[in-house]
Amino acid sequence: MRDITTRIAPPLPTTAEKLKFYGMWVGLALFLLVLPKIFASGGALTTFCLIGISIIFALSYNILLGQTGMLSFGHAVYYGLGGFLAIHAINYFGGHKWPIPLPLVPVIGGATGLFFSALIGWVMTQRSGTAFAMISLGLAELVASSALILRSFFGGEAGVSANRTKMFRVFELSFGPQIQIYYLVAAWTLIAIIAMYALTRTPLGRMCNAVRDNPERVQFVGYDPHVVRYLAFCFAGMFAGIAGSLAAINFEIANSAYLGAVQSGTVLFAAYIGGIGFFIGPIVGAIFVTVLSIGLSDLTSVWQLYFGLFFIGVVMFTPGGLTGLMMMHRPLLRAGMLTRMLPSYLLAGVPTFAFLTGIMLAIETTVHYTAHSNEDPNIRAFGIPFNATSPLTWTAAVLLIVVGFILARITWRRVAHTWDETLTAARAKVHPL
């Protein structure tokens, strides 16, 4: 019996594997410490803060969607409530001179998210799938509309503001400079990432995956899928509250936008674009979505449209997200055969770029022609000037779309053929018969 148990039990990690695992977290902490030394501008620090907040929020959402299989359209409720309670806590503690420092305020946001998710989650998690998604959407709309009605707490359209520098100071840190806020957000981001990763390694995390894949079998082996979904829902709400409180600290204001459908949609985009099948996926998605939204908003007035089109493209062509796309190439990288795909990728990239350029040109000219027909037709989009009413511009857009699409279809078929051959050769090289 002992021999059978020894053969079945997974091998314990070696010392080298343990050092590699803990070294990864130490390396991440060191990276966060030196990052502002490399990018020290105010805009860069603000962007890093937004990325850190988005990472926590996206990972909390992935506890629902990626880990447990619950699609929520109202995850911003716990994000927003955590932010509002954090703002009120800053005003109260600062006004009454309580000896509570600002770095502890996210604990209040997390407790708020946990409280409200525990309060309403038991009923919501009775069902999963479409029913859960619709309930979450209805709850989100209810709370968002209440934010404009209960002005004494939510502050109406203007929201509630606070002054974070009035909080109790530790080591003479006022948290007025953005660099201090960066390190506060970075510390909480690291803590949240470690905590949520540890959660995925627990029996509860494994059971969440089981409920996602086969809830009937989970019930057959003696676990209640409803309880598992409820616990996952509570943890997701807690970490969402932490993210909302950090956002409130960063902006020193909380308003109804924290609770709106746009906020819930953005975190869904970040998690899915990054890849809900991998723990690192929401991290990649949060970084990508934050940087893309900031960059596109400076280049075009209809950046939300491009954002939506990109999301549709990910859903249609790379359902595993950006992380899944990268993980597909791991066998080629291990076999040292990734370079075989580069010529095909470059060949397909040219007509694909032309096709996308034609779509962007058509969008920009159409938007300007319909919304600004009485203004100067000479406009600038993505840093490139062109005439929105010129037949040459419209002709170029049509040609780029049609010719680019046809050539892209042909070249991507070649990519698929090359991929099959290269992947087969890579597997044969790594696992020879």
Question: For the residues of 144-184, what is the DSSP string, one character each?
Answer: HHHHHH-HHHH-TTT-EE--GGGSBPBTTB---SHHHHHHH
pLDDT at 372 over 60: no
Tokens of 238: 């807690």
Average pLDDT, the chain: 88
| Overall average pLDDT of the 15-28 stretch | 84
- Whether residue 282 contacts residue 62, with contact meaning beta carbons closer than 8 Å, is answered with yes
Do the strands 160-161 and 384-387 form a parallel or antiparallel pair, or are they unpaired?
A: unpaired
Q: Return the pLDDT at 194.
A: 95
Residue 5 pLDDT: 39
Instruction: Select the more confidently predicted residue: 386 or 309.
Output: 309
Residues 152-177: tens digit of each pLDDT: 889 888 889 999 989 988 888 888 89
pTM of the model: 0.90
Q: Is pLDDT above 90 for 128?
A: no
Check pLDDT > 90 for residue 47. Answer: yes
Q: For residue 346, how many other CB atoms are within 10 A of its CB? A: 10
Give me the pLDDT at residue 6, please.
42
pLDDT class for 236, splitting at 50, 70, 90? very high
> Whose CA is closest to 284, among 12, 16, 99, 59?
59
Look at residue 367 and tell me whether its pLDDT is greater than 60: yes
Q: What is the pLDDT of residues 215-235, one digit of tens each?
A: 889 888 889 999 999 999 999
Residue 388 makes CB contacts below 8 A (sequence gap 6+) with 364, 365, 368, 369, 372, 377, 378, 379
**Res 371 pLDDT > 80:** no
Q: What is the mean pLDDT of residues 9-13?
A: 61
The strand pairing partners of 379, in sequence order, are 386
Q: Report the percentage of the chain scoring pLDDT > 90.
A: 55
pLDDT of residue 368: 74
Alpha-carbon span 337 to 419, nearest angstrom: 11
In this predicted structure, the answer to whether residue 433 has a pLDDT above a threshold of 70 is no
Question: Closest Cα partner for 55 from 307, 292, 322, 282?
Answer: 282
Per-residue pLDDT at 113 exceeds 80 = yes
Dist. CA 271–CA 144, nearest whole Å: 22
* DSSP code, position 278: S
Provide the token pair at 156.
């109406």
pLDDT surpassing 50 at residue 4: no
Phi, psi dihedral angles at 101 (to 5 degrees): -75, 160
Please, which pLDDT band fits residue 15 given cuts at 50, 70 and 90? confident
Q: What is the pLDDT of residue 157?
A: 83
Count of CB atoms situated within 10 Å of the CB of 166: 15
Burial per residue of 2-29, b for 16 or more beta-carbon CB atoms within 10 angstroms, e otherwise? eeeeeeeeeeeeeeeeeeeeeeeeeeee
Q: What is the pLDDT of residue 14?
A: 76
Q: Check whether 1 has a pLDDT greater than 50.
A: no
Mean per-residue pLDDT for 364-374? Answer: 68
Per-residue model confidence (pLDDT) at position 7: 44
Q: Cα(first)–Cα(last) distance of the chain, in Å?
A: 33
Backbone angles phi, psi at 385, to 5 degrees: -85, 145
pLDDT at residue 315, rounded to an integer = 87
In this prediction, residue 430 carries a pLDDT of: 67
Is the model's pLDDT at 334 over the cut of 90? no
Instruction: Give the span between the Cα atoms of 251 and 247, in whole angstroms.
Output: 6
Give the model's pLDDT for residue 319: 86
Chain segment 395-414, per-residue pLDDT in tens: 888 999 999 999 999 999 99
**pLDDT given at position 370:** 66
Q: What is the mean pLDDT of residues 297-313?
A: 84
CA distance 151 to 172: 35
Taking the C-alpha atoms of residue 390 and residue 370, their distance in angstroms, rounded to an integer, is 14
